[in-house]
Amino acid sequence: MQFIKDRGFSTPVAEGITARATFDQRRDFLRQLAGGSAGVGMALWSGRQALAQTAAPGKMRALPGARSTVAGAMTMEKSSSYADVTGYNNFYEFGTDKSDPARHAGRLKTQPWSVVVEGEVRKPGTWDIDALLKLSAMEERIYRMRCVEGWSMVIPWVGYSLAELIRRVEPTGNAKYLQFVTLADKAQMPGLRSSVLEWPYVEGLRMDEAMHPLTLLGFGLYGEILPNQNGAPVRLVVPWKYGFKSAKSIVRIRFVEAQPAASWNVALPSEYGFYSNVNPKVDHPRWSQATERRIGDDGLLARKRPTLMFNGYENQVGQLYAGMDLAKYF
Ligand SMILES: Nc1nc2c(c(=O)[nH]1)N[C@H]1C(S)=C(S)[C@@H](COP(=O)(O)O)O[C@H]1N2
Ligand SMILES: [Mo]
């Protein structure tokens, strides 16, 4: 995606620029990026098919999890290779190219780490990462993941339901939504020099979505702790929503009464809604969401595979949205 780099990303944005100009520039850049990246990214990936197709455990510290018994948590589909899962990423804090996170996230210091829990809870506080790791039994969950750009993977995550943490902090009756705030440290994250998004990257879920047993607080993949490019040391994994809802490298969880800001929704509200449920019937304004390419399996010339309602998790999560107009609340 050199052309994209040349057109903006690597160009530092002057501090004194007006807010409106920054906004226009960011919006134009995001449009370019999102519209073009599925194709260009796939070309990049198909050039790399020679990479090992097997898991590469042993690179990171082991983090085994027992097979999950949560309904829908173990898809039978073949997992994507460790090389693809850890080499083809979106993590804009480290750059917008799919290979940037693997190249630049190594410098991220994930120990010590803590997560602040605040807002509408009876037990606010700061959780050390070691306490979070011990809070509940680790499970393996094999989830289909679908990026809004039109590609997908199958990833064996390790973690436990976010609900475990939520119950322990005792939300008040006013807690209607959760906001997830991620790390924004210029010293460690070269992507923050760009105004491609507002930093820190933030995401949000409605309380019932956050409490759903499939919503995972993720600490590992392929039986090991998360590589930095996948959101170490702790991230969200929401398999029925487009990938960008799954916030990486979380530092703060806020329980709030009103629908919170979410980065892509703030950047381009007409293109990325707050809900962002995978839905083949609701197109992105500039491209269809009816089909996808599975990274590692579907070459550029292969017929695309159909995208499933709620990414195939309709039986588990469909009732959360009963009666909602999903074209309006996209
Ligand atoms: N902090 C942060 N989290 C993020 C992103 C990001 O840029 N920054 N990208 C999102 C997007 S668009 C996707 S598709 C997934 C990718 O996760 P993966 O690299 O582990 O597959 O992370 C999401 N979480
Ligand atoms: Mo994504």
- pLDDT digit string (tens) for 18-44? 455 565 676 776 776 655 455 555 655
pLDDT tier, 57 (very low <50, low <70, confident <90, very high otherwise) = confident
Residues 176-192, mean pLDDT to the nearest whole number = 98
Helix ranges restricted to H, the chain: 2-4, 19-46, 82-87, 100-104, 129-134, 162-169, 207-211, 263-267, 314-317
pLDDT tier, 197 (very low <50, low <70, confident <90, very high otherwise) = very high
- The maximal CA–CA distance of the chain, rounded, in angstroms, is 54
Write out pLDDT tens, residues 208-232. 999 999 999 999 999 999 999 999 9
Residues 6 or more apart whose Cβ sits within 8 Å of residue 202? 179, 180, 181, 182, 247, 260, 261, 262, 263
pLDDT at 46 over 80: no
Q: Does the beta carbon of 239 sit less than 6 angstroms from any atom of ligand 1? A: no
Write out pLDDT tens, residues 122-134. 999 999 999 999 9
Q: Does the beta carbon of 88 sit less than 6 angstroms from any atom of ligand 1? A: no
Distance 173 CA to ligand 1 centre (A): 31
pLDDT tier, 250 (very low <50, low <70, confident <90, very high otherwise) = very high
All structural domains of the chain? 12-147+156-259 (3.90.420.10)
Strands (E), the chain: 66-67, 114-119, 125-128, 139-146, 151-161, 177-182, 202-206, 216-221, 224-225, 235-237, 250-256, 291-294, 305-306
Q: Do 242 and 119 contact (CB within 8 A), yes or no? A: no
CA distances 211 to 55, 215, 217, Å, are: 31, 7, 11
Q: What is the average pLDDT value for the chain, to the nearest integer?
A: 89
pLDDT at 245 over 90: yes
Q: Does the beta carbon of 246 sit less than 6 angstroms from any atom of ligand 1? A: yes
The tokens describing 131, both together, are 């306490």
| Position in ligand 1 atom list of the atom nearest CA 153 | 21
Residues 84-103, mean pLDDT to the nearest whole number = 97
Question: Which ligand is in closest contact with the Cα of 295?
Answer: 1
Write out pLDDT tens, residues 8-17. 333 333 333 3
Give CA–CA dist 222/65, Å, rounded. Answer: 10
pTM above 0.75, yes or no: yes
